[in-house]
Amino acid sequence: AKGQGRGTCCYFNADMQNEAEDRLRLEQDLRQALTLRQFRLDYQPLINALDQSLMGFEALVRWHHPTRGMVPPNEFIQVAEETGLIMQLGDWVIEEACRAAATWPDNISVALNLSARQLIMPALPNTVHESLARFKLKPNRLELEVTESVFLGDSQGSLDVLKRLRAIGVGIALDDFGTGYSSLGYLNKAVFHKLKIDGSFVREAANNRETVAIIQSIVQLAKSFRMTVTAEGVETADDFTRMRDLGCHQIQGYLFGRPMSFERASDLVHGIQTR
């Protein structure tokens, strides 16, 4: 037990103190990261399943810290959410993604991820509208990805914000579909135009008939609500043909490209092969 040899009970030991210090340092570094311009967006290709043409990119945030190196989002997004920093970071992501997309042709879209905490901000639709206007980007070139977790807290408030975003004309995708809490009732509210099937299903489908059946039902469900379907985490040629034949419209995964810099993404847009 953790408190052993330190009296009857110990609620706070050296390990816990280290953890608390690490966390505090992370928070401090994170707070500075925006002003020091340490964040970058990488862009991962979204591919048309039918003709394998490029449809757009998903923007994924990266933190380049001088001593920590490249910190992946899974290691700091949650801290950013808990400290409220996600608001400023989120605004930056919106602006940066719009700036990038505005340099690409009209048929190339950009998707970005929103945290549940951003969805409860009534000012969010305004922020999105202003970024679109600033870069003269048509609303249909921007897509916002949210997970089912947005319906855990103030679901009515989040739904209102989503509806106002939808009214602007941007796309709304339900990310990591199937991994979260069942919220099928929300599909009924006509805010989502796309379902993204989580990569764990896509890879499991290779050797699991039940998973294939789940994917079939998701595609069927999407059809009845007039939503399109993206398969994430497509890593092999077999994954690709399977997901295409199951009726997925769009493909994303290492098979067609890892997240890459804005420069490399732009090369791809203009047909320059850099691999």
Q: Which residues on adjacent β-strands are paired with residue 70?
A: 64
Establish if 95 lies at the interface with ligand C2E (CB under 6 A).
Answer: no
Binding test (CB under 6 A) with ligand C2E, winner from 56, 125, 171, 233: 233
Establish if 93 lies at the interface with ligand C2E (CB under 6 A).
Answer: yes
Please name the helix (run of DSSP H) or strand (run of DSSP E) that holds residue 47, with its range, or none. strand 39-48
Establish if 115 lies at the interface with ligand C2E (CB under 6 A).
Answer: yes
Give the relative orientation of helices 124-134 and 155-168 as an angle to the nearest 10 degrees.
20
109-113 and 54-65: which strand pairing?
parallel
Closer CB to ligand C2E, 18 or 52, in the complex = 52
Establish if 98 lies at the interface with ligand C2E (CB under 6 A).
Answer: no
Of 22, 21, 128, 124, nearest to 71 by C-alpha is 22
Binding test (CB under 6 A) with ligand C2E, winner from 40, 225, 236, 254: 254
Establish if 176 lies at the interface with ligand C2E (CB under 6 A).
Answer: yes
Cβ(216)–Cβ(243) under 8 Å? no
Contact partner at residue 259 from ligand C2E, Ca ion, none, CB < 5 to 8 Å by partner kind = ligand C2E
The rounded distance, in Å, linking the Cα atoms of 151 and 130 is 26
Binding site for ligand C2E (CB under 6 A): 44, 60-61, 72-74, 77, 93, 112-115, 175-176, 199, 233-235, 252-254, 259
Query: Which residues of this chain interact with Ca ion, rule CB under 5 A?
Result: 113, 145, 175-176
